[in-house]
Amino acid sequence: MKTIMDCKGRHPSILWTAIAVVVMLVVTVGGAFANDQFVMTATGTVRAALSIAQGQALNWSQGGDLYMGVSKHIAVNTAGAGVFTVTGAAADNIQSQLLLPEYLWCATAGVKQRVDVYFTATDAAYSTDGDADPTTATQTVVDPTNLPTMTVAAGQTDVNIFLGGTAMPSANQKAGVYTASVVLTSWYEGD
């Protein structure tokens, strides 16, 4: 009996076996990589920006002017208290920070004068009941240098922040109108 060999001296059944193994691997490996695909949609809604408005200025002259050498305190629940209104979405958490002045300044007749001012840990308050009147709003008293997270009440869109403080004119203070800026920055608290 004569054995048939290929040109390299191998038996043809080995060649066919090798071809069969390669085909099986290609089919098996190819099947392992067969996938199904589905495309999903990713979405995100960006909240409208917060808006901040000054309801009224912190006014140490409410109920009468400042007097030389006499300090004057404005409480957060009085008519002279400053009011900021932060408008956001109901039930959202809002963070805020106040930049408070150290002085009130006056430039009368070219001479720059200042009145010292200071703020204590009870010189700010906030309300989430929608009432921006410092004399009637339901307030939570807070430290103006460390405002807490404030949650906009359900059915409301505003958080009102009230600010009081103390002005201390010197005994030889020059007469004039003294002013300073109070800056409120607010943002949504993220998840």
Q: How far is CA 37 from CA 34, 40, 67, in A?
A: 10, 10, 79
**Taking the domain 51-188, which CATH number applies?**
2.60.40
**DSSP bridge partners of 74:** 165
Cα(82)–Cα(54) distance, integer angstroms: 8
Length of the chain: 191
The neighbour count for residue 96, using CB atoms within 10 Å, is: 21
pLDDT value of residue 92: 86
Tokens matching residue 61: 């002259």
**DSSP bridge partners of 9:** none
- Whole-prediction pTM value? 0.76
pLDDT value of residue 187: 93
pLDDT value of residue 135: 95
Residue by residue, pLDDT tens for the chain (191 residues) are 555 555 566 556 665 666 666 656 555 555 555 678 889 999 998 888 889 999 999 999 988 899 999 999 999 999 999 999 999 888 889 999 999 999 999 877 567 899 999 999 999 999 998 899 999 999 999 999 999 999 888 888 899 999 999 999 999 998 889 999 999 999 998 76
